Amino acid sequence: MIAQPQPTFTPTEYLNWEAQQRLRYEYVAGQVVAMAGGTIPHNQIAVNLVALLKPHLRGRNCKVLSGDAKVAISGDGPFFYPDVTVTCDGRDLKARQYIRFPCLVVEVLSESTEARDRGYKFRRYRQIETLQEYVLIDPDRVMVECYRRNERNNWELVNTISEGLEMDSAEGGLVLESVGLKILTTQVYEDVIFPDKDEVL
């Protein structure tokens, strides 16, 4: 069976085309990639973060957005759908199709997306000058990593939460300097039921 070639879109064609689709599609170099649905724990973590960020940032002209909001690396793409995005940049206040100037991006990992989230997408996200923090969260075990842009404009891993740390110890919280908020690990994983260990091996 011969594979059908994917259509190639300009950024404008992609935005117009995707607006007519039932599914969400990310866009890279003229090609589109359908976004698969996530697990319940994946969604729960995203909801937990939005529920914590929104009241914290109320009245500060910031937008807290879920996985249905696109982020553009530039006006020509790529276009991605992070699980949680925060922008406090006035240039995004009237955004309709996508965000261009986030300060915080969060990706909840899955088996099928982890390599891309850690590799290609992180390399592209780092091109956004306003982005200050990039957070990766594992929905199947306690594992949170926060990467932050330092004063030399380099990215470093500044906060790691793992199963070896107490859930609500001083070391166990997620410190988000970009929005001035510390989130306890139990808040990140509230209502999340982890699979048995043999289910994730």
The 10s digit of each residue's pLDDT in 117-176 is: 999 999 999 999 999 999 999 999 999 999 999 999 999 999 888 765 444 444 558 999
Domain membership of residue 30 (yes or no) is: no
For residues 102 and 112, which has the higher predicted lDDT (pLDDT)?
Answer: 102
Containing structural domain, residue 116: 38-199
Domain membership of residue 15 (yes or no) is: no
Domain membership of residue 32 (yes or no) is: no
CATH number at residue 43: 3.90.1570.10
Domain membership of residue 26 (yes or no) is: no
Per-residue model confidence (pLDDT) at position 14? 95
Q: Using CA atoms, how far apart are residues 73 and 85, in angstroms rounded to an integer?
A: 13
Mean pLDDT over 87-102 rounds to 96
Domain membership of residue 27 (yes or no) is: no
Mean pLDDT over 181-201 rounds to 83
**Residue 100: count of CB within 10 angstroms of its CB:** 17
Query: pTM value?
Result: 0.90
Mean pLDDT over 86-105 rounds to 97
Answer whether residue 97 shows pLDDT above 50.
Answer: yes
Q: Using CA atoms, how far apart are residues 194 and 88, in angstroms rounded to an integer?
A: 33
Q: Using CA atoms, how far apart are residues 48 and 191, in angstroms rounded to an integer?
A: 9
Measured CA to CA in angstroms, residue 126 lies from 50, 121, 158, 182, 184 at distances of: 22, 9, 15, 23, 26
Q: Using CA atoms, how far apart are residues 99 and 87, in angstroms rounded to an integer?
A: 8
Q: Using CA atoms, how far apart are residues 71 and 82, in angstroms rounded to an integer?
A: 7
Please, which pLDDT band fits residue 3 given cuts at 50, 70 and 90?
Answer: very low
User: How many folded domains does the chain comprise?
Assistant: 1
54-73 pLDDT, tens digit each: 999 999 999 999 999 999 99
Per-residue model confidence (pLDDT) at position 135? 97
Domain membership of residue 8 (yes or no) is: no
The SS3 assignment for 47 reads helix
Per-residue model confidence (pLDDT) at position 15? 95
Residue appearing with tokens 């006006």: 75
Please, which pLDDT band fits residue 195 given cuts at 50, 70 and 90?
Answer: confident
Mean pLDDT over 82-109 rounds to 97
| Average pLDDT score over the chain | 90
Please, which pLDDT band fits residue 112 given cuts at 50, 70 and 90?
Answer: confident
